[in-house]
Amino acid sequence: FATPALTGPRDYWVRVTDSSWYTDSATATVSILQFVLSASGLHGTITGSGTYTDMTNASLTATADPGYVFSGWTGDTTATTNPLPVLMDQARTIGAVFSQDTADNDSDGLTNFEEIVVYGTDPNKADTDGDGLTDGQEIHFSHTNPLLVDSNSNGISDALEDPDGDGLTTLFELNTTIPIPCSPTATRTACPMHTRPSSKDLRSNPPSVTRSPSI
């Protein structure tokens, strides 16, 4: 630990009278111990660090940057309480751990971290650019810019593009479920499956189905 600083000198005067009624006096200078509380963390801020008098109850508060969440403390404590009470009976060094925010506030298929830090989209709005495709659909499926209605500037909204030339728009293909047979022997049973805007065929080798005459 760091050597505590001696600070705040104070003078005290003491008078002592014994049984013989002799009186003595003395003056002494007493210094008060102080300790340093150091705190740091990546992807967030911490308040409350500084120099404290011995036995002071200090408090650290961690605030995560957008796209991150506070997940715990390291160093002279492993607690997860935030704010964190700290008894300053010695010098202390404490770090805050901030993790990626993996929640998906708007249920668009992108985490809050991805929306804020990676793509710059709105974590509370599923379709940031308002083109009809969710931010997750644009990133993972249509590979268009979730911040632009018309990513390639051709005058056609990303949602109305037909990149595979099958006559179906990206919006239709990503939001329409088509029932297809689960297996070549299936009759009435069907498995819901989404079409893909980048491929004309639902499957590369669609199953052949022999249906009963009663169907």
Taking only the tens place, the pLDDT of each residue in 96-118 is 999 999 999 999 999 999 999 99
Question: Does residue 105 belong to any structural domain of this protein?
Answer: no
Would you say residue 165 lies in a domain? yes
Q: Is residue 144 in some structural domain?
A: yes
Report pTM.
0.72
* Residue 126 sits in the same domain as residue 158: yes
pLDDT band (50, 70, 90) for residue 11:
low
Whether 215 maps to a domain, the answer reads: no
**pLDDT greater than 70 at residue 208:** no
Query: Average per-residue pLDDT in the chain?
Result: 83
DSSP H stretches of helix in 63-153: 112-113, 135-137
* 3-17, 30-44, 81-95, 189-203 — most confident range: 81-95
Residues 29 and 54 in one domain: yes
What values do phi and psi take at 194, rounded to 5?
Answer: -80, 145
Instruction: Clarify whether residues 66 and 119 are in a common domain.
Output: no
Does a structural domain hold residue 30?
A: yes
Do both 86 and 136 map to the same domain?
Answer: no
Phi-psi region of 149 (alpha: psi -120 to 50; beta: other; left: phi over 0): alpha
Whether the CA torsion 52, 36, 39, 45 is positive or negative: it is positive
Which among 48, 66, 100 is the end of a domain?
100
More confident residue, 167 or 73: 73
Give 129-157 pLDDT, tens digit per residue. Answer: 999 999 999 999 999 999 999 999 999 99
User: Looking at the structure, do residues 63 and 134 belong to the same domain, yes or no?
Assistant: no
Check whether 210 has a pLDDT greater than 50: no
Are residue 69 and residue 47 in the same domain, yes or no?
Answer: yes
Same domain membership, residue 121 and residue 96: no
Q: Give the C-alpha separation, 156 to 144, whole Å.
A: 12
Output the furthest CA–CA distance in the chain (Å, rounded).
Answer: 128
Same domain, 92 and 165: no
Residue where a domain stops, chosen among 54, 72, 100: 100
Neighbours of 38 (CB within 10 A): 15
User: Which H or E run includes 86?
Assistant: strand 84-88
> What total number of domains does the chain contain?
2
Question: What is the pLDDT at residue 8?
Answer: 54
Count of CB atoms situated within 10 Å of the CB of 125: 15
- Asked whether residue 19 carries a pLDDT value surpassing 80, the answer given is no
Residue 17 located in a structural domain: yes
Q: Provide the domain limits for residue 23.
A: 5-100
200, part of any domain:
no
Share of the chain above pLDDT 90, in %: 62
Residues 55, 88 within the same domain? yes
Question: How far is the C-alpha of 43 from the C-alpha of 53, rounded, in Å?
Answer: 30
Which is it for the CA torsion 17, 18, 24, 29, positive or negative? negative
Query: Do 88 and 9 share a structural domain?
Result: yes
129 and 178 belong to one structural domain: yes
pLDDT beyond 90 at 193: no
* Residue 120 located in a structural domain: yes
Residues 135 and 115: their CA atoms lie apart, in Å, by 8
How big is the CA angle at 57 (ends 70 and 96), to the nearest 5 degrees?
20
Query: Do 96 and 50 have their domain in common?
Result: yes
Tell me what pLDDT residue 187 has.
47
